[in-house]
Amino acid sequence: MRRFFAPKENFNSEKVLLSNDETKHLRDVLRLRAGEQVQVFDGEGKEFLCLIESISKKETALKIVEEISPSAPKSVLNLTLAVALLKGEKFDLVVQKAVELGVNIFVPLVTKRCDVKFKNAPDFNKKLERLNRIALEACKQSGRADLMRISGLVDFQKFIESAEGAKVLFSERGGAGFADIEPAKKITAVIGSEGGWEDFEIEAAQSKDFRIITFGGRIMRAETAAISVATILQHRFGDLN
């Protein structure tokens, strides 16, 4: 069954409209026609079985047949994953896998040793558009009906001031093991860059009640660490069990 996204405001009690981009995919890529059934999710957790009524140049009108359960239900763990900026496709991969692993909020972080520097906000906004497209496609493919929210670029020092829930920062040195993470339904997990953390960043996080965690003796690339952290936390406190 083909899955499409439409924001909540495009729904009424009987019908839903697909956007120009979704219509192009339905019409020109998948070559679907009126009378065929598709599934549409609203990005907030609801999904519907729909019947294609009409396809125009810029939108598709669908009749809602019934509400259905998403194939990937929302995790019981409210997980925020904050990751220092990584070069190129590494960051794209982390975003894609974060969606698949049920992360609620993804935060791109600027740290002292992060791999990428943006000179101004417009430069990052282009990157953010790309990341949101990746997240949407991953949501379609993984069966999620709730969209992972990707925040704007945040400075590390500012982020730790406002982080919520059980707070953990993963470091290559000086931390405890996973067993020291207390059970929680809301967790903020922070991953650094390939170059690791400066001492003052670790100290600042500790002063804001972050627990420092280390992967034993394993050395991982930053993107591997981010994906592994999301997986382990979902297994321990979420729905990967």
**Residue range 3-68 in CATH 2.40.240.20:** yes
Q: Distance between CA atoms of 108 and 190, rounded to whole angstroms?
A: 10
The domain defined by 78-237 folds into Alpha/beta knot (3.40.1280)
Q: Distance between CA atoms of 134 and 223, rounded to whole angstroms?
A: 16
Cα dihedral sign for 199, 204, 207, 212?
negative
Q: Which residue type occupies 122?
A: P
- Note the pLDDT of residue 50: 97
Q: Which residue type occupies 145?
A: A
Structural domain boundaries of the chain?
3-68, 78-237
139-149 residue pLDDT tens: 999 999 999 99
In terms of phi and psi (left: phi > 0; alpha: psi -120 to 50; beta: otherwise), the region of 127 is alpha
Whole-model pTM: value is 0.92
Whether residue 118 is predicted with pLDDT greater than 80 in this model: the reply is no
- Note the pLDDT of residue 129: 92
Q: Six-digit token pair at 36? A: 């065929």
Mean pLDDT of 75-100: 95
169-187 residue pLDDT tens: 999 888 888 888 988 999 9
